[in-house]
Each structure stands twice: as structure tokens, then as C-alpha cells.
Amino acid sequence: MIGKMLSHRKMLTTARDAHLARDSVKTSAARVAESFRTNLAGRGQIL
């Protein structure tokens, strides 16, 4: 169904796009976590 909405003719295309989306979410979450770690460490808080 999602593939049809995105005009994908093959399910593999939709699966590939979903995989890329998950990777970008993981990368973004890691960046946010590192930012929190850096800010908390600068305030002398134990991590």
C-alpha cells in the first residue's frame, strides 16, 4: 500500500527506501544523544 502511494512499481524499492529512513533516524538520534552528553558533561554532571 505504501509503495503504491509512492508510485513504486516494485516492493524492493519501498523496502530500500524504508531502510534508508531507518538509518537517517538512527544517525539523528546518535547526534542528539552526543549533544546531550556533551552538554551534561560541561555542567559537571556524571554520565
- Quick one: pLDDT at residue 18? 77
Buried b (16+ CB within 10 A) or exposed e, 8-41: eeeeeebeeeeeeeeeeeeeeeeeeeeeeeeeee
Ramachandran class of 8: left when φ > 0, alpha when ψ lies in -120 to 50, beta otherwise: beta
**What 3-state class would DSSP assign to 7?**
coil
Q: For the segment 3-39, what is each residue's pLDDT rounded down to a tens digit?
A: 787 788 888 888 877 777 788 888 899 999 999 989 8
Residue type, position 34, single letter: E
pTM of the entire predicted model:
0.51
Q: Which residue has the higher pLDDT, 44 or 22?
A: 22
Are residues 47 and 37 in contact, defined by beta-carbon separation less than 8 angstroms?
yes
Residue 47 pLDDT greater than 60, yes or no: no
